[in-house]
Amino acid sequence: MTTGRPREFDTNQALAAAMHQFWQQGYTATSLQDLLKAMQISKSSFYQTFGSKHALFQRCMEHYRNTLEDSMLAHLQKSPSARQFIDATFRAISDNGQDGDGQFGCLIMNTASEFAQDDPVVAKLVRTGTEKIHTVFLHAIKRAQADGEIPGDKNPEALASYLLSSMGGLRTMAKAGTARKTLEEIVKITLSALD
């Protein structure tokens, strides 16, 4: 029995490249040619490995979600306090909003805006992504409340939802080119809700 030709590209690298392409342009505006160029693979390799543009997008959303969640959890674990983690998370958005990946907003929120509820599969991916971020914030808030950094009478679920929506809005404003000073003022107001 003969085996197929060995894959001549790194799947994870190709997936990361596709994710950035979708992140920069959105799903609809990203063509197959855009993806092949970014991923540096042939059309046959694309279909053999990823199946379709839609299937690839699902994998990219999962990759983005997992990477973001892992990064947030790592920062929370390393932070001297949970409140400092929350503050630093928001200040990083205002500080880096127009640089690197910051200028593209949040892939999860971008996708929510592009698709709304039109595609049940994508809607579920968006929902799962927002739930993961919400859970990280909820964990941080509860820890900060236990440490006396956030008043214990504040509803942690509501605060986590507020931080999630604020982060999405802030990233969208950064993507739109909002001045850093304005972003910093928004961050100050956002964080004051934790006092």
pLDDT digits (tens, 9 = 90+) for 117-166: 788 999 999 999 999 999 999 999 999 999 999 999 999 999 999 999 99
- What average pLDDT does this structure show over 5-23? 83
Model confidence band, residue 177 (pLDDT cutoffs 50, 70, 90): confident
Whether 125 is covered by a domain: the verdict is yes
Q: Which domain holds residue 135?
A: 53-192
Whether 1 is covered by a domain: the verdict is no
Number of domains in the chain: 1
Dist. CA 23–CA 114, nearest whole Å: 12
Whether 88 is covered by a domain: the verdict is yes
Q: Which amino acid is at 20?
A: H
Whether 128 contacts 108, CB under 8 Å: no
Whether 113 is covered by a domain: the verdict is yes
DSSP 8-state assignment for residue 51? -
Whether 75 is covered by a domain: the verdict is yes
Q: Whole-model pTM? A: 0.86
Whether 121 is covered by a domain: the verdict is yes
Whether 110 is covered by a domain: the verdict is yes
Model confidence band, residue 115 (pLDDT cutoffs 50, 70, 90): confident
Beta strands in 5-88 (DSSP E): none
Whether 89 is covered by a domain: the verdict is yes
From the centroid of its chain, how far is CA 35?
20
- Tell me, what CATH number does 111's domain have? 1.10.357.10
